[in-house]
């Protein structure tokens, strides 16, 4: 870098996947100089009917010995019958087999806060008015002793 005066910042409304990947790769490389490697790997548990239709699933990824649960969905016809809890238990068990000791996730006030608390998750943060009139909650759970 010859001169800091030559630097230019640009707002990019719709960055390309290549630009985003480059930014993420650079951050991961930096992080790995300060902490253990992320070893980030996707993980999912899917539930299908006999005809192959998707009826539910949970997905996320493991890294730094943690599971992050990004999405959980159960078909409305199956809700209230314990399938969500079974999906969560399955992904948590798979994460423990990968060496994870804990899990974290977030949910909204119009989603499933009570459900996750029943699964043993504890709220550690709240972002009020996100989206307007609602809240976003951050939860975690210890998976091993």
Percent of the chain with pLDDT over 70: 99
Which of these ranges, 24-28, 67-71, 97-101, 130-134, has the smallest mean pLDDT? 24-28
CA 28 – CA 129 distance, rounded (Å):
31
The owner of tokens 């709240």 is: 126
Tens digit of pLDDT for each residue in 75-131?
A: 999 999 999 999 999 999 999 999 999 999 999 999 999 999 999 999 999 999 999
Across 119-132, b (16+ Cβ under 10 Å) vs e yields bebeeeeeeeeeee
For residues 137 and 107, the answer to whether their CB atoms sit within 8 Å is yes
CB atoms within 10 A of CB 113: 19
DSSP β-bridge partners for residue 135: 128
Domains in the chain with CATH codes? 39-142 (3.40.630.30)
CA 124 – CA 110 distance, rounded (Å):
18
Structure tokens at 44: 């999912």
């Amino acid at each position: 870098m010859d001169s800091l005066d030559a630097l230019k910042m640009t707002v990019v409304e719709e960055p390309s996947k290549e630009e985003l990947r480059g930014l993420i790769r650079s951050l991961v490389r930096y992080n790995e100089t300060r902490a253990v490697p992320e070893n980030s790997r996707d993980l999912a548990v899917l539930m299908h009917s006999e005809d192959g239709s998707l009826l539910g699933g949970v997905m996320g990824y493991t890294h730094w010995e943690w599971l992050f649960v990004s999405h959980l969905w159960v078909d409305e016809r199956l809700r209230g019958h314990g399938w969500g809890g079974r999906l969560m238990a399955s992904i948590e068990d798979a994460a423990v087999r990968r060496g994870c000791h804990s899990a974290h996730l977030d949910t909204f006030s119009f989603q499933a806060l009570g459900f996750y608390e029943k699964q043993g998750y504890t709220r550690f943060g709240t972002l009020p008015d996100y989206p307007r009139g609602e809240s976003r909650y951050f939860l975690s759970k210890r998976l091993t002793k």
